[in-house]
């Protein structure tokens, strides 16, 4: 079985509070984008979980999100056959693009089909949340408001935008580091932001003007490069440019392919990890 698992950007992210277990209550707009990893799932006769990954820096043991998803499902449904999962990485990790999260969502959906488990979305989301706060969104895909720690999902109208540039600086950001270093004074920084209504009114240009991310307040003081990339994008006509999630990727929403290509040609002289992408309405695609 072959699947594509797609990445996401956060068009909006604000923090509303903190739970006693250290997790943060967030309000975020998640958007699937057209950048994907390839996941191949094969059944094994012996009762083993084997993960192979093209990126040798990613662990293939229980720390791997795909391993976790398989283990949870095997135990829940008492399945004895084994699984070999090959991950062909393309989405950069620790980038704020939810690459690892969407890989595990692909495995949940893939095993649901392979083993005819007939799980509905809610049952898959319950498993997803045991792996990470971003995984429930990756089960659904498209345009969603996520609240709680990321698990309370509300479907929004599709946000459609064709000219998006992603730039991954050399540094990576660990999600837990960013949340740990957030100052509570920065909670509710964007309380009056109107992005949700604008999405549901299909006012795409106004949506683009309303993007915001509170987690920049942790990352920018440590890495001024984030602002340099944003400036180059904005000088080249991007309608807005912000960091996605806990970083380090910075994205820009451009009005047309010409301005996006101009920014691309300038930024590619400095950055090797640079991608042209667009929004999509799903996060997992099945092939065979």
Does 102 count as an annotated binding residue? Answer: yes
Residues 85-104 close enough to bind ligand SUD by CB under 6 A: 96, 98, 101
Judged by CB, which is closer to ligand SUD: 146, or 208? 146
Q: Is 28 in the site for ligand SUD (CB under 6 A)?
A: yes
176 interface partner picked from ligand SUD, ligand ADP, none, CB below 5 to 8 A per type: ligand SUD
Does 101 count as an annotated binding residue? Answer: yes
* Tokens, residue 216: 């920049």
Q: Which helix (H) or strand (E) holds 277?
A: strand 273-277
State the CB neighbour count (10 A cutoff) for residue 233. Answer: 27
84 interface partner picked from ligand ADP, ligand SUD, none, CB below 5 to 8 A per type: none
142 interface partner picked from ligand SUD, ligand ADP, none, CB below 5 to 8 A per type: none
Judged by CB, which is closer to ligand SUD: 20, or 288? 20
In angstroms, the CA 187 to CA 185 distance is: 6
* Tokens, residue 9: 């950007």
Q: Interacting stretch for ligand SUD, rule CB under 6 A, among 130-138, 186-194, 202-210, 278-286?
A: 130-138
Instruction: Count the helix, strand and coil residues of the chain and give each as a percent rounded to the nearest 5.
Output: 30, 30, 40
CB 123 within 8 A of CB 20: no
For the CB of residue 271, give the shortest distance to ligand ADP in the complex, in Å: 17
Does 17 count as an annotated binding residue? Answer: no
Closest residue to ligand SUD: CB criterion: 245
Residue 134 appears among annotated catalytic residues: yes
* Tokens, residue 140: 């659904």
Any residues with CB less than 8 A from the CB of 110 and at least 6 apart, and which? 1, 3, 39, 41, 286
CB 67 within 8 A of CB 84: no
Binding residues for ATP: 92-102
For ligand SUD, the binding residues (CB under 6 A) are 10, 13, 22-24, 26, 28, 96, 98, 101, 132-134, 149-150, 175-176, 179, 245-246
């Amino acid at each position: 079985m072959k699947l594509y698992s797609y990445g996401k950007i956060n068009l909006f992210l604000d923090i509303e509070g903190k739970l006693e277990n250290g997790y943060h209550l967030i309000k975020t707009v998640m958007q699937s984008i057209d950048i994907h990893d390839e996941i191949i799932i094969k059944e094994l006769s012996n009762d083993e979980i084997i993960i192979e990954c093209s990126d040798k820096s990613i662990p293939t043991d229980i720390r791997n999100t795909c391993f976790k998803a398989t283990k949870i499902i095997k135990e829940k449904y008492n399945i004895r056959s084994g699984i070999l999962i090959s991950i062909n990485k393309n989405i950069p990790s620790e980038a704020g693009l939810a690459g690892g999260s969407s890989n595990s969502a692909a495995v949940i959906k893939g095993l649901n089909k392979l083993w005819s488990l007939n799980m509905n979305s809610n049952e898959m989301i319950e498993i997803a949340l045991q792996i990470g706060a971003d995984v429930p969104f990756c089960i659904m895909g498209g345009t969603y408001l996520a609240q709680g720690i990321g698990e309370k999902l509300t479907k929004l109208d599709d946000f459609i935008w064709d000219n998006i540039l992603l730039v991954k600086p050399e540094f990576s950001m660990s999600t837990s580091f960013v949340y740990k270093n957030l100052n509570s004074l920065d909670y509710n920084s964007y309380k009056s932001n109107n992005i949700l209504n604008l999405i549901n009114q299909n006012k795409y240009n106004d949506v683009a003007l309303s993007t915001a991310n509170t987690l920049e307040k942790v990352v920018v003081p440590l890495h001024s490069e984030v602002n340099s990339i944003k400036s180059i994008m904005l000088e080249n006509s991007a309608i807005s440019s912000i960091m996605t999630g806990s970083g380090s990727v910075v994205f820009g929403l451009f009005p047309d392919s010409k301005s996006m290509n101009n920014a691309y040609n300038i930024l590619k002289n400095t950055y090797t990890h640079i991608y042209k992408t667009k929004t999509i309405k799903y996060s997992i695609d099945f092939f065979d």
